[in-house]
Each structure stands twice: as structure tokens, then as C-alpha cells.
């Protein structure tokens, strides 16, 4: 009887998200704050700092790098110059911190990211988000390329994440474990993003992202399994950033560009997927993603 009550209590606490009661409120590290101060106030040598606190942080995934060209008064620093953000090695990930303006709003972008499969220590997966937090950013747009699992998806379609299945479960630091797993993607901003992209003529819908380690693309059997488990798209990034951004209290929108389709792979004349093609196909959706950026900026 006594032990039954204990179980009930445990389940109630789990439901309330109190199971991670030991987690501390995260604070950005000293290194993140030092870089943030340069971006906001002192500048990097000849790079002019931002005039105002950035209202949006964007992580540009595979093929999305050219979105930095929309920034006015654009300033760029290579991750390697910062000595803190790890250099990206994956194809289509330049590895640069970029800031500038869209009309009179300040925006910061990470042009490229590292992935868990690159073998970096786990904190490297979310240092960019820690920097966003140090910059005072409260809204993030995370972008990535993915394989489409749901049968009626088309290549180039934008899927705004409504949930994810985390098959990797990176061992994040304790302060990032208090995120209530059931509410990670911002409903209001995400719904607005879908509507805006659709009105602008882009294929766009909400969907569930399966986060897998990679670096290999999935086998036919794995694509079939992921589809059966209820995922709409599959990729190798973003989820650690989502968890950390939510722990910092940021509102999160994630846009995934479908670059290949599981159904067309799961047939006898299966063609192998090439990273270069994934990159090019994702790049073809940058216009659609930019309409989403504009909408987010309008709402902030």
C-alpha cells in the first residue's frame, strides 16, 4: 500500500515535469558572455557591433547558408577566430557567426553547426544557443535538411516541427534537463510560419522530426521503421539546440527542408543519397524560409 502511494507520487511528479528538480537554471558561460559583449558593444577589431539587442537568432543548417546575404550592415566572424565555437566540418556548413540588420531589427545567425556524429564533446552541440542566450535573444529559428518519410511530402517542402522523437538523447548538462518535453515548439509562432509560407506559395506543413545520430543516411528498413513510429521527417541535428534553447526560456521555431524522400529510396532502383544533392535541394527552399524569417520579425 505504502509503496503504491509512492509510485503514484512519482508519476504525478513526472507528469508535472518535476522529475528534474535537481536542474539549475542555466546561465550562459563566461566565454559566451565575452563574445556576446563584443557582438553587442565593443566589436571585433574592424567589425562594427550591433546597434540594438538582437530579437532573433537563426541557426542556418545544410544549404541555408546564403540567407546571411539578406542582412544589411552584415558582419562576419569565423567560428575558428572565436576560439570557442567549434569549426563545422559537415558539407554546407561554413562555420561563421554573422550579425546585421533587417530593416531596423538586429539579427544574429550561425552559418553552420556541428553535429553529434562529428565526434565533438556534447556541449559543442549547443554552444551557439548559449551564445544566443548571452546576447539576450528570446526567439530562435532553427533550420535543417531532412529525409521525408510521410508519403505525400515533396522534395523542397518545408516542415515546421511540432514535435520530435529523440533517438540520440545526448547526455546534456543537468541545467538543460528541466525542459518539459511535451511543449518545446512555439505553437503561435509555428502556426504563423506555416500560414505565411503557404500564402507565399511554398509547400509547408507541421510535422514530427526523428533525430538520428548519422552520419549515414538511413537504410530502407530504417526509413520504414521511422515512418511506422510516426515521424514525418528524419535528420541528424537540431534537437539538442531545441532542448537547450527551451531551457533558457527561448521561443523555438524549427524549419526542416525535405531534401530526399524515403519512398523513392525504398524501391528497387534506389539511388544513393549524396550530401551535395541534399545541400543543393535544401538551398532551393531558402526563399520560403526567408518569408518565415520576415514573419517572425514582424511578430516580435
Which stretches of the chain bind ligand HPA, using CB under 6 A?
145-147, 217-218, 234-236, 259-260, 278
Of residues 278 and 292, the one with the C-beta less far from ligand HPA: 278
User: What whole-number distance in Å separates Cα of residue 241 and Cα of residue 126?
Assistant: 5
> What are the φ and ψ backbone dihedral angles of 224, each rounded to 5 degrees?
-60, -45
**Least distance to ligand HPA, CB of residue 256, Å:** 9
**Least distance to ligand HPA, CB of residue 157, Å:** 13
**Least distance to ligand HPA, CB of residue 246, Å:** 22
**Mapped to the 3 state alphabet, what secondary structure does 6-25 carry?**
HHHHHHHHHHCCHHHCCCCC
CB 28 within 8 A of CB 133: yes
In the bound state, the residue with its beta carbon closest to ligand HPA is: 147
**Least distance to ligand HPA, CB of residue 233, Å:** 8
Of residues 28 and 61, the one with the C-beta less far from ligand HPA: 61
Of residues 130 and 218, the one with the C-beta less far from ligand HPA: 218
Q: How many other C-beta atoms can be found within 10 angstroms of the C-beta atom of residue 82? A: 20
Of residues 234 and 296, the one with the C-beta less far from ligand HPA: 234
**Least distance to ligand HPA, CB of residue 167, Å:** 11
Of residues 62 and 196, the one with the C-beta less far from ligand HPA: 62
Q: How many other C-beta atoms can be found within 10 angstroms of the C-beta atom of residue 274? A: 12
What cell numbers appear for 266 in the block?
525504398
| DSSP H helices in the chain | 2-15, 30-37, 79-82, 127-134, 187-199, 220-228, 239-247, 262-265, 275-283, 286-299
Paired residues of 252 in beta bridges: 140
DSSP 124: G
Of residues 153 and 245, the one with the C-beta less far from ligand HPA: 153
* Residue 200: CA count within 13 A, CB half-sphere: 21
**Least distance to ligand HPA, CB of residue 261, Å:** 9
Of residues 61 and 95, the one with the C-beta less far from ligand HPA: 61
**Least distance to ligand HPA, CB of residue 147, Å:** 2
Amino acid at each position: 500500500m505504502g509503496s503504491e502511494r509512492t509510485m503514484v507520487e512519482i508519476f504525478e511528479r513526472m507528469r508535472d515535469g518535476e522529475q528534474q528538480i535537481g536542474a539549475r537554471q542555466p546561465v550562459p558561460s563566461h566565454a559566451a558572455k565575452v563574445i556576446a559583449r563584443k557582438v553587442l558593444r565593443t566589436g571585433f577589431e574592424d567589425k562594427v557591433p550591433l546597434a540594438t539587442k538582437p530579437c532573433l537568432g537563426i541557426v542556418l543548417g545544410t544549404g541555408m547558408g546564403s540567407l546571411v546575404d539578406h542582412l544589411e550592415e552584415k558582419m562576419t566572424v569565423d567560428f575558428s577566430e572565436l576560439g570557442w565555437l567549434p569549426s563545422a566540418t559537415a558539407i554546407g556548413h561554413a562555420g561563421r557567426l554573422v550579425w546585421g540588420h533587417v530593416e531596423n531589427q538586429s539579427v544574429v545567425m550561425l552559418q553552420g553547426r556541428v553535429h553529434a556524429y562529428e565526434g565533438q564533446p556534447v556541449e559543442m552541440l549547443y554552444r551557439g544557443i548559449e551564445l544566443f542566450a548571452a546576447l539576450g535573444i528570446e526567439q530562435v529559428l532553427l533550420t535543417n535538411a531532412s529525409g521525408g518519410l510521410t508519403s505525400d511530402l515533396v522534395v523542397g517542402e518545408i516542415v515546421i516541427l511540432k514535435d520530435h522523437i529523440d533517438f540520440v538523447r545526448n547526455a546534456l548538462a543537468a541545467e538543460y534537463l528541466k525542459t518539459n518535453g511535451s511543449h518545446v515548439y512555439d505553437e503561435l509562432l509555428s502556426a504563423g510560419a506555416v500560414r505565411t509560407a503557404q500564402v507565399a506559395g511554398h509547400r509547408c506543413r507541421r510535422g514530427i522530426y526523428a533525430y538520428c545520430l548519422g552520419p549515414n543516411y538511413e537504410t530502407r528498413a530504417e526509413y520504414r521503421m521511422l515512418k511506422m513510429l510516426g515521424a514525418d521527417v528524419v535528420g541528424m541535428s537540431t534537437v539538442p539546440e531545441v532542448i537547450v534553447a527551451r531551457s533558457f526560456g527561448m521561443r523555438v521555431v524549427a524549419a526542416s527542408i525535405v531534401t530526399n524522400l524515403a519512398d523513392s529510396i525504398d524501391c528497387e532502383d534506389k539511388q544513393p543519397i549524396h550530401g551535395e544533392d541534399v545541400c543543393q535541394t535544401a538551398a532551393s527552399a531558402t526563399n520560403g524560409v526567408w518569408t518565415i524569417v520576415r514573419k517572425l520579425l514582424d511578430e516580435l
